[in-house]
Amino acid sequence: MGQRYSQFTLGERCRLRGLMETGLSKTEIARRLGRHRSTLDRELGRNSNVDGYRPETADRRAWARRFRGSRIERSTRLSAHIEDRLAMGWSPEQIAGRMELEEVEHSVCTESIYRHVFSPTGRRAGLPRLLPQRKSRRGRRARNGRRAPSIPNRTPISQRPGSVVDRQEFGH
What is the tens place of the pLDDT at every residue in 5-14? 788 999 999 9
**Contact predicate 32/19, CB 8 Å:** yes
> Is pLDDT of 163 > 80?
no
Amino acid at 104: V
- Alpha-carbon separation of residue 153 from 40, 64, 149, 159 (angstroms): 59, 62, 9, 13
Mean pLDDT of 48-57: 91
- For the chain, give the percent of residues with pLDDT over 70: 85
Q: Structural domain of residue 104, as residue ranges?
A: 71-130
Task: Enter the pTM of the model.
Answer: 0.51
**Contact predicate 120/128, CB 8 Å:** no
Mean pLDDT of 77-81: 90
The pLDDT of residue 169: 67
Q: Which of 44, 65, 86 is the last residue of a domain?
A: 65
Amino acid at 154: R
How far apart, in whole angstroms, are the C-alpha atoms of residue 124 and residue 33?
A: 42
**Beta strands 48-49; 52-53: pairing state:** antiparallel
Higher-confidence residue of 157 and 96: namely: 96
**Are 105 and 81 members of one domain?**
yes
> Is pLDDT of 125 > 60?
yes
**Are 108 and 82 members of one domain?**
yes
Q: Is residue 4 part of a domain?
A: no
Residue 16: pLDDT band (50, 70, 90) is very high
Mean pLDDT of 26-53: 93
